[in-house]
Amino acid sequence: MERNRLVEHRGLFVGRWWSVVLRGLAAIAFGVLAAVWPHKTLAVLMTLFGLYALLHGILSVAAAIGTPGDRSGRWLLAIEGFVGVAAGVITLRTPSVTAMVLIFFVWLWAIITGTLRIVEAIRLRKVLPGEIWLALSGVVTVIFGVMLMLRPVVGLIGVAWLIAAYALLLGLLEILLGVELRSMRGHPLPAGA
């Protein structure tokens, strides 16, 4: 029974490889914009983050509900998606808040999302050979969140550069995971799964 769930969950990731690549491209676009405009106002940085979190959340929810079959293994991806949508909506609806509130939104989102990715990678380690990219994206996201939490007052330009570096690295890891997932279409489960 558990093996069947893992097989179904593997199919979810492999079948939705394109949404992982799109999330990676969105992260890279967000990182480039944050790097190009580090001196822009807080409202621009918040809008960029809000749009990225919203798009990431929508793509995650779409991947979680878009494949027919057993839905029991999709809750982590769905939670990640709903957290992203909520963070995006809250951020976009409050464009005039202070830098500390922006940092709070970003680090809270990063800690939750990163932890969910790590848990997902651990759950899928026997059936998803590309789980290393998922785990690394979770670790990078948690480290990013912890860095923001421990050093919240680094200045707006410092925060913009940190966010840009994180988004570019996360985007690369997402694209690598998506490419790995695409190459697995039609392949059987690894031995011992």
Cα angle for residues 179, 48, 82 (degrees, 5° grid): 65
Domain annotation covers residue 80: yes
**Which domain, by its residues, includes 99?**
2-183
Q: Report yes or no: 32 and 164 within 8 Å, Cβ to Cβ.
A: yes
Number of domains in the chain: 1
Digit-by-digit pLDDT tens for the chain (193 residues) are 455 555 555 555 666 777 888 889 988 998 898 888 777 656 677 788 888 889 989 988 888 887 555 555 677 788 888 988 998 888 888 766 656 777 787 788 889 989 988 998 888 777 776 788 889 999 999 998 888 887 765 566 677 788 888 889 999 998 998 888 888 766 655 555 5
What DSSP string runs through 138-153? HHHHHHHHHHHHH---
DSSP class of residue 74 equals G
Name the H helices within 16-155.
17-36, 42-65, 75-93, 99-123, 131-150
Domain annotation covers residue 190: no
Domain annotation covers residue 189: no
Domain annotation covers residue 18: yes
- pTM of full prediction above 0.75: no
Domain annotation covers residue 192: no
Domain annotation covers residue 119: yes
Tokens of 169: 């690295």
